[in-house]
Amino acid sequence: MAETKKFAMVVAEGTFDKAMMAMMMGNTAASMGIETHIFYTFFGLNLLKKGAKPKMPGMMRFFTGMMIK
């Protein structure tokens, strides 16, 4: 019986950089054929709301200000 590779990640913060990290890692794992689960909890749930505008801490705000309108 072959073991299935699995990837799980918990997103507990509602910032733009955390959201992008989870999406990129999850997408990479899924493209490699790995069963992928992303669990959103606490402030991470705010990222899933329609019209959500996640906060961008530090210099990230300066460089990605044009991406979110």
Locate the domains of the chain by residue range. Answer: 7-64
Model confidence at 5: pLDDT above 90: yes
Contacts (Cβ under 8 Å, ≥6 apart) of 3: none
Q: Exposure pattern of 12-46 as b/e (b: 16+ CB <10 Å)?
A: ebbbbbbbeebeeebeebeeeeeebebebeeebeb
Q: Is 60 helix (H, G, I), strand (E, B) or coil?
A: helix
d(CA 8, CA 59): 28
Q: Residues 8-67: pLDDT tens digits?
A: 999 999 888 888 899 999 999 999 999 999 999 998 888 888 887 777 766 555 666 656
> What topology is assigned to 7-64 in CATH?
Hypothetical Protein Ychn; Chain: A, (3.40.1260)
41: tokens are: 């909890």
**Residue 17: predicted pLDDT:** 84
**Residue 16: predicted pLDDT:** 83
